[in-house]
Amino acid sequence: MKRISKKLLMALVTVGFGLSATGSAWSAESLDDVMKRRGLSQKDVLSAAKTYVPTGKRDEFLAFSSGGQSGQLIVYGVPSMRILKYVAVFTPEPWQGYGFDDESKAVLAQGRVNGKDILFGDTHHPAISETNGVYDGQYLFINDKNNPRLAVVDLSDFETKQIVVNPIMKSEHGGAFVTPNTEYVIEAAQYPAPFANEYVPLSQFNEKYRGAVTYWKFDRKEGRIVPSESFSVELPPYSQDLSDFGKGPSDGWSFTNSFCSERYVGGIEKGRPPFEAGCSQKDTDFFHMVNWRKAAELVKAGKAKKINGHDVIMMDTAVKEGILFLIPEPKSPHGMDVSPDGKLMIVSGKLDSHTYVYSFEKMMALIKAKDFAGKDPYGIPILDLKKSLHTQVQVGLGPLHTQYDSKPCVAYTSIYVDSQVTKWDYCEGKVLDKLSIHYNIGHLMTMEGDSVTPQGKYLVSLNKLAIDRFNPVGPLHPQNHQLIDISGDKMELLYDMPLPLGEPHYAVAIKADKLKPKIRYKSGWNSRTDKRHKFRTRPGKERIERDGNKVRVFMTTIRSHFTPEIIEVNEGDEVTIHVTNLERAEDETHGFAISGTNANLSLEPGKTASATIKADTPGVFPYYCTEFCSALHLEMQGYLLVQPKGYQKTSVKGTEGTIYKKADYDKQFKTNLSTQGVIDTVVGYITARNYQDFKPVVALVEDATEQLGFAANTRKKAEGFAAKKDWHNATLWAGQWWQYQVKAADIGLRAKTYLDQHGAKVIKK
C-alpha cells in the first residue's frame, strides 16, 4: 500500500507538472527500411494504409457476424477488422456474466426446448432492424439453426433481451430477416418434421412431415417479439432454406428457397443412397413466394389453425386464398437475395454455375393471369421458370450468396467451389470481375449490402477454410474473414482476419455513426428486462435480510469495495446476492465472483445483477471483484462464511490484523494533506482551461468530484474517531480517505492528459 502511495504521488508530481513530452524525435527507420526488413511490397503497404486505424480513431463501419457453433454474435470494426465484442446470445459467456447471473439465466431459460436447458446454439443469420428498408441500428435478430430459436439483441447496450422458441419447427435456417419496417422477422424451417411433438415414422414423410415459414411479430416500442401475434404458413416437406423479404414494389411478400424438393429420406444403413444423392436428383428445386401481408390478415380473420398454441395457415387455405406460389430454381440453391430496389430476386444453385435473376414484375403478371406451369403434389401453383426470369448469368462453380453495391446493378456473389468472389451486373447480365479468396467462401457481406441503401466501399468474404493463411494452432483452424476493397473497378484484397469463435455464416455491417450505445444504465437497472431492478440498492441502504432459510443480500459496489464485505449464513441457506454498481463513470465495470460457486457477475455502471447460491457446503468462501477496476482492485474483496449445522462457538481465542497508534494516524493525516495539495493543483490546471468544451472531461470531472465527496465524508469519520482518541479506527478511516483522494487524483490526471492532447485553451479566470 505504501509503495503504491509513493508511486502515485510521484506520478502526480512528474506527469502533472513536468514538461509535457511532445514526441518529435524521428524514428530511426524509414518506411523503405521497414518495407525491406519485413519484405513488404508497395501493394502491402497500400493495403495497410487502407485498413490501419490509428490509436484513438474509430472504424467507419461495425460488422455483426454470426458466431456459428459458439451460439454468439461477433462484433468487429471495418476496415480495421479489430474485434470489439462477442455478444452472448444462446450460450453462457462468463465475461458478460451471461448464464452466470440470475437475470441472464432467465433469458436463457426462455430458450428451453421441451423443458430442457439448451446451452449451445448454431447462429447463422444476424439482421439489423430497418426503417423504410434502411438499417436503423436499434435492434439485431439472430437465429439458432439447431434448436429453432430466434434472439433479440438490443443495440443500445449490445445485450440479448429475449429468446423465442419456434413452436412448430424442429430445426430452421432461413432467419433472421426483417420486413422493411421490422414489423416481422422471418424464420424458415430447414429439415422437415411433424409439427406436433410426436413420433411419426418416415414412411409417412409426404403426409405428416412439414416445412414452414414463421413470421415473428416485433413490438419495436417494447423491443420484444410478441409470440401471441406471430404466425406461420405451412409448407411442403421440402427443406426450406434462405429467405428474404420484398421491398419497394415487392413489399408485402417473402421469398424462401428450398433444397431436397425430392422429399428423400435417406437411409444409408438400409443400403439406400445417402441424403446427398437422393436430395439432388432433380434439376430444379422450389422457390416459395408468400404474400405475408395477406397472410397476416387471414390470421386476423380467423383462418389459421392453432397448432401447439400457435396460429398456422395451412397449405390448402394458403392455396385457396392465393398467397402461396412456387417457381423452379437451380438445384440445391442457397442464397435468396432481393435487390435494393425490390424488383429482382437473385438465387444461386450450389450445383449450377449460374445465378438466376427473377423478376418480381413477371412473377406477378403470371399470377394475375393465372398462367401456371402446373401444381406441386400439395396443390400449390407453380410458375414457369423461364417466364419468371429476368436473366441468368454464369458466375462460377458453386455460387452461394449475393450482396449489393452502392453502384446500381452491381452485385457480388460468393463462389464456393472456385473460391472466388464474382462481381457482376445483374441488370445487363454480365460478369465484371473475379477475385480469388482463401478459401471456400460461404456468405459475403458488403456495407449495409442487403438494405435499400447499400454503402459500397468494402466487402468481407466469410471463408469456410483458412488452411495455410495463419500461424498453425492445431488441427482446428480459425475462420478467415477477408476484407476486400470494392471502391474501384477491380476488387482488391486488403486483409485477412482470423476468427477463432465458431464458424460464422452471415454477417451484416452498419455505418458506425448510426449506433448510439449507452455508457451507463440508470442506477439499479435490470438490463435484461429494461426496468428498474426490484432488488436495487441505494447507497447507505445495504443490508442482509433473512426469511427462514432464505437470505437476501442487498449489496452495492463502487471503487474499490463491496458493501457488505462480510456475509455470514448457515449451512443449507439459499443465498441471493443482488449487487448494484453505484458507479457513474465510463468503463467502471466491477465483477463479482464467489469461490466454490458458478456465481460470476459483470456489473457495468448502474447495473443490478444477482447471484443465487445454495450454501450447502460449510466453510470460508472469499468473493472478489473480477475486473481490474482501480489501483486497489485486488483489495476489492469479501468473505462468505457458511457456518456448519450445529456449530458450537469455541473458547479458542484469536486475533485479527494490526493495531494502529496515534503516530500512525498522524503520519497518514500528513500524507493526506499533501495529497490534497496535489489534487488542488490538478483541479486548478483543469478549471483554468475550457474543459467544459470536452464531453469526456466533463464526465471525468463529475467522477472526480464524486470521489472527493466520499473523501470529505471519510475525513469526517477519521477526525471523529481521532477526537475520541480511538487511534485505530481514526487511522483506518484516514486510510480510506486517502483511497478516495488517490482515485480523484487518478481521474484528474486522466482529464489533464486528455486536455493536453486535445488542445484545450487557457481561459481567463
Would you tell me which residues interact with ligand K7E (CB under 6 A)?
124-125, 173, 242, 334, 400-401, 442-443, 505-506
Choose the contact partner of 350 out of ligand K7E, ligand CUA, none; CB within 5 to 8 A by kind: none
Q: Per CB under 6 A, which of residues 589..608 are in contact with ligand CUA?
A: 590
Contact 423, 434 (CB under 8 A): yes
Looking at the DSSP bridge assignments, the partners of residue 622 are: 639
* Minimum gap (Å) between residue 8 Cβ and ligand CUA: 17
Q: Per CB under 6 A, which of residues 529..568 are in contact with ligand CUA?
A: 560
* Minimum gap (Å) between residue 559 Cβ and ligand CUA: 6
Written as one string, the DSSP assignment of 218-286 is EETTTTEE-GGG-EEEEE-SSEEEEEEE--GGGTTEEEEEEE-TT-----GGGTPPPHHHHTT-SSEEE
Measured distance CA(511)–CA(549) in Å, rounded: 53
Contact 464, 440 (CB under 8 A): yes
| Summary count for the chain: helices (H), strands (E) | 13, 45
Binder among 508, 585, 636, 640 for ligand CUA (CB under 6 A): 636
Residue 579 binds ligand CUA (CB under 6 A): no
Give the nearer residue to ligand CUA in terms of CB position, either 263 or 633.
633
Measured distance CA(109)–CA(487) in Å, rounded: 45
Contact 402, 410 (CB under 8 A): no
* Minimum gap (Å) between residue 627 Cβ and ligand CUA: 5
* Minimum gap (Å) between residue 242 Cβ and ligand K7E: 6
Give the nearer residue to ligand CUA in terms of CB position, either 189 or 625.
625
Piece of 84-92, 501-509, 621-629, 749-757 that binds ligand CUA (CB under 6 A): 621-629
Measured distance CA(262)–CA(259) in Å, rounded: 8
Piece of 200-208, 444-452, 629-637, 655-663 that binds ligand CUA (CB under 6 A): 629-637
Cα torsion angle, 662, 664, 665, 667, sign: positive
Give the nearer residue to ligand CUA in terms of CB position, either 358 or 521.
521
Binder among 341, 492, 574, 627 for ligand CUA (CB under 6 A): 627
Looking at the DSSP bridge assignments, the partners of residue 144 are: 123, 149
Choose the contact partner of 173 out of ligand K7E, ligand CUA, none; CB within 5 to 8 A by kind: ligand K7E
Piece of 214-222, 368-376, 625-633, 715-723 that binds ligand CUA (CB under 6 A): 625-633
Give the nearer residue to ligand K7E in terms of CB position, either 60 or 244.
244
Give the nearer residue to ligand CUA in terms of CB position, either 242 or 553.
553
* Minimum gap (Å) between residue 760 Cβ and ligand K7E: 50
Residue nearest to ligand K7E (CB): 442
Q: Per CB under 6 A, which of residues 57..116 are in contact with ligand CUA?
A: none
Measured distance CA(721)–CA(408) in Å, rounded: 77
Identify the residue whose cell numbers are 429453432: 148
Choose the contact partner of 590 out of ligand K7E, ligand CUA, none; CB within 5 to 8 A by kind: ligand CUA
With a CB cutoff of 8 Å and minimum separation 6, the contacts of 159 are: 87, 96, 153, 527, 528
Identify the residue whose cell numbers are 414484375: 361
Residue 69: closest CA among 438, 497, 500, 402:
500
* Minimum gap (Å) between residue 729 Cβ and ligand CUA: 24
* Minimum gap (Å) between residue 174 Cβ and ligand K7E: 8
Choose the contact partner of 216 out of ligand K7E, ligand CUA, none; CB within 5 to 8 A by kind: none
Binder among 629, 678, 679, 683 for ligand CUA (CB under 6 A): 629
Piece of 21-29, 74-82, 620-628, 637-645 that binds ligand CUA (CB under 6 A): 620-628
Choose the contact partner of 627 out of ligand K7E, ligand CUA, none; CB within 5 to 8 A by kind: ligand CUA
Q: Per CB under 6 A, which of residues 468..487 are in contact with ligand CUA?
A: none
Choose the contact partner of 229 out of ligand CUA, ligand K7E, none; CB within 5 to 8 A by kind: none
618-621: Cβ within 8 A, 24+ apart = 618/571, 618/642, 618/643, 618/644, 618/645, 618/647, 621/594, 621/595, 621/596, 621/597
Binder among 217, 633, 667, 728 for ligand CUA (CB under 6 A): 633
Residue 132 in 3-state DSSP? coil
Contact 176, 127 (CB under 8 A): yes
Give the nearer residue to ligand K7E in terms of CB position, either 246 or 398.
398
* Minimum gap (Å) between residue 340 Cβ and ligand K7E: 19
Piece of 43-51, 326-334, 623-631, 652-660 that binds ligand CUA (CB under 6 A): 623-631
Looking at the DSSP bridge assignments, the partners of residue 234 are: 212
Residue 584 binds ligand CUA (CB under 6 A): no
Residue 239: closest CA among 256, 255, 253:
256
Choose the contact partner of 633 out of ligand K7E, ligand CUA, none; CB within 5 to 8 A by kind: ligand CUA
* Minimum gap (Å) between residue 401 Cβ and ligand K7E: 6
Choose the contact partner of 120 out of ligand K7E, ligand CUA, none; CB within 5 to 8 A by kind: none
Choose the contact partner of 242 out of ligand CUA, ligand K7E, none; CB within 5 to 8 A by kind: ligand K7E
Give the nearer residue to ligand CUA in terms of CB position, either 101 or 136.
101
CA–centroid distance for 250 within its chain: 30
Q: In what order do the strands lie in the sheet with 344-349?
A: 333-338, 344-349, 354-359, 389-394
* Minimum gap (Å) between residue 334 Cβ and ligand K7E: 5
Contact 494, 484 (CB under 8 A): yes
Residue 625 binds ligand CUA (CB under 6 A): yes
With a CB cutoff of 8 Å and minimum separation 6, the contacts of 419 are: 436, 437, 438, 439, 440, 441, 463
Measured distance CA(196)–CA(305) in Å, rounded: 13
* Minimum gap (Å) between residue 630 Cβ and ligand CUA: 6
With a CB cutoff of 8 Å and minimum separation 6, the contacts of 76 are: 62, 63, 65, 82, 83, 84, 481, 497
Pairing of strands 159-165, 149-154: antiparallel
Measured distance CA(203)–CA(181) in Å, rounded: 42
* Residues engaged in binding ligand CUA (CB under 6 A): 560, 590, 625, 627-629, 633, 636
